[in-house]
Chains A and B, each alone.
Chain A
Amino acid sequence: MTRVRRSVSIVVALVLAAGTVSAHGAALRGSSGSLSIPTWLFLATGGGVVGASFLLATFATDRTFVRRSHDHARVLAAVPRVLRTVVAPLVGLLGLLAVLAFGFGAAFDVAPADPQQNLAILVVWVGWWAGYVMTLYLVGNTWPALNPFRTVARTLPSLDRGYPAAWGAWPAVVGLLALVFAEVALPLAEDAAMLAGAITAYGVVTVAGAVVFGVDDWFANADPVARAFDHYGRVAPFARTDDGVVLRVPGAGLVETAAGTARAGGDDGATDRAPLADAGGVAFVVALVFATTYDGFVATPAWRTIAEAVHAPGVPGVLIYAVAYALGFLAFVGVYRWAARSARRTGDTFVAVDELARRFAPPLLAIAAGYHLAHYLGFFVSLSLPLATALAAPTAPPAPELFVLPTFFGGVAITAILVGHLLAVWVAHAIGFEVFPERLQAVRAQYAFVAVMIAYTTLSLWIVSQPTVTPPFL
Chain B
Amino acid sequence: MDINEKLKILSSAAKYDVSCSSSGSDRGNSKTGLGNTVTSGVCHSWTGDGRCISLLKILFSNACIYDCAYCINRASNNIKRATFTVDEVVNLTINFYKRNYIEGLFLSSAIIKNPDYTMEQMLKAVKKLRIEENYNGYIHLKAIPGADLKLIREAGFYADRLSVNIELPSEKSLNLLAPQKKKETIIKPMSFIGQNALANIEERKKYKKVPLFVPAGHSTQLIVGATPESDLKILKLVEGMYKKFNMKRVYYSAFIKVNNDKRLPDIKPPLKRENRLYQADWLLRFYKFSADEILDNKHPFLDENIDPKTSWALRNFHYFPIEVNKASYETLIRVPGIGIKSALTIIKARKYAPITFDKLKKMGVVLKRAKYFITCNGKYYSNLFLTPEIIKEELTKNKEYQIPLFPLTAIEKAV
Partners in one complex: no
- List residues of B whose CB falls within 8 A of some A CB: none
